[in-house]
Amino acid sequence: MRADQPKAKSGYKMESIVKNGHNKVSTAFKKPEVAVSHLREGIALLLSRWNGLQMAVQNEWGGHDSLQKSHQLVLDIFSWFSQSKGPLYNEDLENLLHESLLLSFNTEIEDGSIEEVAEQLMIMHEEYLNRNHYTKSST
C-alpha cells in the first residue's frame, strides 16, 4: 500500500447524516475532522429551524447584517463547545443564547425555545463526543 492511499477504517467513525431535513443513518465511516464539520453543520441546521431566531433574521431585528449575525452565533456556539476546559452546563448555553439574541438582535425570547434549543444543542454535542471517543479508542 502506498503512503498516500487512504487507510481502511483506521481513524474513521460512524456518522449520522442529515439530508433534506431527515435523519438518514449512513454506514460509511467518516474521518474525525469530518465529524467536527458535521457538528458545525448540525448547529447551523438546528438554528435555521429555530423560529424565534429566524424571525429576528428575516425581519432584520439585528440590522441589515442579521444573517451574518446568525452565522456568527453558529460559530460562537461551536467555539463554546470546543474551547471549554471544564464541564459544560445547559444554563450557561442558555445564557449565551439569551445574551446573543439580546445584544445582536435586540430580541428577548420568552417562549421557552431558548431552553429547548440549548438542550438540543447539548444533546448534539454529547452525541458528537461519544462518537469521537469511539473513534479515538478504536484507532
* pLDDT at res. 10: 34
- What does pTM read for this prediction? 0.71
Q: Is residue 59 domain-resident?
A: yes
Q: Is residue 38 domain-resident?
A: yes
Mean pLDDT of the chain: 80
Q: Which three cell numbers stand for residue 139?
A: 484507532
Domain count, the chain: 1
Q: Is residue 16 domain-resident?
A: no
* pLDDT at res. 132: 67
The model's pLDDT over 60-72, given as tens digits with 9 standing for 90+, comes to 999 999 999 999 9
State the residue range of the domain holding 116: 32-134
Q: Is residue 82 domain-resident?
A: yes
Q: Is residue 1 domain-resident?
A: no
- Give the position of cell 454506514: 27
Residues 6 or more apart whose CB falls under 8 angstroms from that of 18 comprise 24, 41, 42, 45
The model's pLDDT over 92-133, given as tens digits with 9 standing for 90+, comes to 999 999 999 999 999 999 999 999 999 999 999 999 988 865
